[in-house]
Structure 1
Amino acid sequence: MTRDEILAKQMKIAEEFFGTENDPDQMPINSESTKKLDTLCDCWLSSEFDEYGEPISWAIVMPTQKALAINFLNKKITERQLLELTMPSDIYDAIYFASVITVPEHRGKGLALKVVLKALEKMSVTKDVMYFTWPTTKEGESLLTKTQLFLGKEVKIRSQ
């Protein structure tokens, strides 16, 4: 399966789950957003596949600037604006855990944490990098706790 085929499959599942098409404030899940993410870094998407090559778990981890992260956390900008305003850089001082999806039949196997950590391994970040997220599910909150424990660092949260 090509990268474009994998992305198309992942975008379809993610759109069904998050419904960003009908929410102007959320980061869109489409080819334009993936092109923008590609300009930021080539490791924004981390995936795990089953034995048939089908994507079963993936994370979108977006590098950005700390000033934008603070504005997002304080609800001065939307998730969509966070993506639009983020500028490419060689090194980043903020990382946004945008989305993590594991298909239902593969949950509870540690795949969500695995794909998040795999994405982080390849990101060029400052020593004082700020991690942040906007969890929308109980599973997301559970993953947040595990991620903080593993990183040994706080992940700041945007409230609903």
Structure 2
Amino acid sequence: MKNFIVLLIALFTISTYAQEKELWAKSILNEKAPELVVEKWLSDIPDTEGKFVLIDFWATWCGPCIKAIPELNSYQKEFKDKLVVIGLSDEPEAKVKKHKRPKIEYYSAIDTQSRLNNTLEVRGIPHCILIDPDGIVRWEGYPLLTGYELTSDVIAKVIENYEK
């Protein structure tokens, strides 16, 4: 009986870790990214030519979105020659401009019509997509999801795999 219980626990543990990454959007991994549609840039317009683009769908009222800002700032700094980070909110310009802390140090835009959000069927934020210089999505998901976090190492590996 003891061996049976141990087996059940082991099977449960394996099945828990074998589950796929949960997405709150339509998966477009390894597919051509849709066109980035922006109503208004709140920062300079980024030069994305030949670079990876990390789009973060976020909102000022979203706690996890705010928690992710310092990490996104660090990615923009660390990979500045190869990566452009863009925060995209569907909130009005005035609301996004009121957001002060933590300070966003990457590119920022709004689209109150949620065109890209709707195309990707984003149902939960923050949601990020990492697009390679050829326009193919190489990473997608909730950047803080346990076991599937978007980290500096993940970005470095995506870039390294592209450059091989």
TM-score when normalising by structure 2: 0.31
Larger of the two Rg values belongs to structure: 2
Higher helix share: 1
Higher strand share: 1
Higher RCO (C-alpha 8 Å, min separation 6): 2
TM-score when normalising by structure 1: 0.32
